[in-house]
Amino acid sequence: MDKPLSRKLDLNLLDLFDAIYRTRNLTAAGKALGLSQPAMSHALARLRDMYGDPLFVRLAKGVEPTPFADELVGPVSQALQILAQTLEKGSFVPATARRVFRLAMTDIGEHTFLPRLILHLQHHAPRLCVETIATSASPEELAQELSKGTIDLALGAINPDIAGVRSRILFSDVYACVARPSTVPRGTLNLAEFKRARHVVPNVAGTNHSVLIDRMLVANGMSEQVVARVTHFLAIAELVADTDVVAIMPRNLALSVARRWGLCHFAPPVQMPGYDVMVYWHKRHDQEPGNTWLRQAIVELFQGGPQPAPAVARTRRPAR
């Protein structure tokens, strides 16, 4: 007779698998689970024996999942999520709940959302942890990750019109330009100057920003004025601070980087549409208490629009 599932499977091993897969590091996973190095090694050996696969291969730094582990992570994450939901059903208490929420966002999202969100969690849910994950390149991939439970929420200007994905608008924003004062002596550029300027533009996966900015460049015959395409908006800010390029970015980010780096910000002298920043989740989590609580907290924090991040003590770069 087959053994009962409870005798074949130690659920703690699934937690172990999930922690190693997320951290790619046995020591970090052990710390997260409160296990010593010998206990981690013993548990990993049991996990490998249970599945008949190495699961993780050692590298110079950390470990790398095997192809089988990549196939396994979705079902394991979903199973752990379902178990967590059954335990907290109707009784999620933020002040005492222990949980890692995985949020998909870009570096703009981290800049916009994390400071206020983490401060809120410190006061109201001190045992919760937020782990950010890069937004998937396609809406279909994002929907799959939300459905599997490998991510809990996604935030940004993504707009995945995919069955099963719910969304709620947090705020609307427009675009602004940033440049060094020496590049824009009058603090702005007219259309002719804007078209002659050299531009750095985003090549950011998983958002609509790159598409909208590229459309503007093509419509105004400016594609050849692009000198760099960069995968992170905050890297664009560094480039603008060090060179004579002009960049277009979300207005809330433009205001912040202008303040921090001593840059000029001004409205684009071309027509550009606005966009909506939203929070996304899968319909499977509509009534899940933890997911619902975090969604509502994010809505309450950001539905009035992002607040400027506090200025940090930093020596401003001299205009060159």
Report how far apart, in Å, the C-alpha atoms of 27 and of each of 3, 7, 41, 151, 192 are.
Answer: 33, 28, 10, 23, 57
Q: Does the pLDDT of residue 268 top 90, yes or no?
A: yes
Question: Tens digits of per-residue pLDDT, 270-308?
Answer: 999 888 999 999 988 888 889 999 999 999 999 877 765
Q: Does the pLDDT of residue 84 top 80, yes or no?
A: no
Residue 56: its pLDDT value, please?
Answer: 94
Q: Which 8-state DSSP code applies to residue 58? A: E
Mean pLDDT of the chain: 85
For the domain made up of 175-273, the CATH class stated in words is alpha beta
* Among 284, 250, 283, CA closest to 113: 250
SS3 183: coil
CATH number of 89-171+275-314: 3.40.190.10
The residue among 108 and 160 whose pLDDT is bigger is: 108
Contact 280, 154 (CB under 8 A): yes
Contact 255, 176 (CB under 8 A): yes
- From the options 3.40.50.300, 3.40.50.720, 3.40.50.410, 1.10.10.10, give the CATH code of 1-85: 1.10.10.10
Hey, do 89-171+275-314 and 175-273 end up sharing a CATH topology, with the first three levels equal?
yes
**pLDDT tier at 245, thresholds 50, 70, 90:** very high
* Among 302, 288, 12, 24, CA closest to 152: 288
* Among 66, 67, 99, 68, CA closest to 85: 99
Q: What CA–CA distance (Å, rounded) separates 317 from 320?
A: 9
* Among 158, 132, 162, CA closest to 144: 162
Neighbouring C-beta atoms of residue 138, cutoff 10 Å: 13
Question: Tens digits of per-residue pLDDT, 112-143?
Answer: 999 999 999 999 999 899 999 888 767 778 88
Report how far apart, in Å, the C-alpha atoms of 227 and of each of 7, 184, 200, 264 are.
Answer: 61, 18, 6, 20
**pLDDT tier at 87, thresholds 50, 70, 90:** low
Q: Does the pLDDT of residue 208 top 70, yes or no?
A: yes
Amino acid occupying residue 194: F
Residues paired with 131 in a beta bridge: 102
Residue 74: its pLDDT value, please?
Answer: 84
Contact 43, 35 (CB under 8 A): yes
Is the pTM higher than 0.75?
no
Please give the distance of CA 217 from its chain centroid, rounded to a whole number: 27
Neighbouring C-beta atoms of residue 29, cutoff 10 Å: 25
Question: Tens digits of per-residue pLDDT, 10-48?
Answer: 778 888 898 899 889 998 888 888 888 888 899 999 999
Domain-wise residue ranges, the chain: 1-85, 89-171+275-314, 175-273
Q: What CA–CA distance (Å, rounded) separates 207 from 194?
A: 24
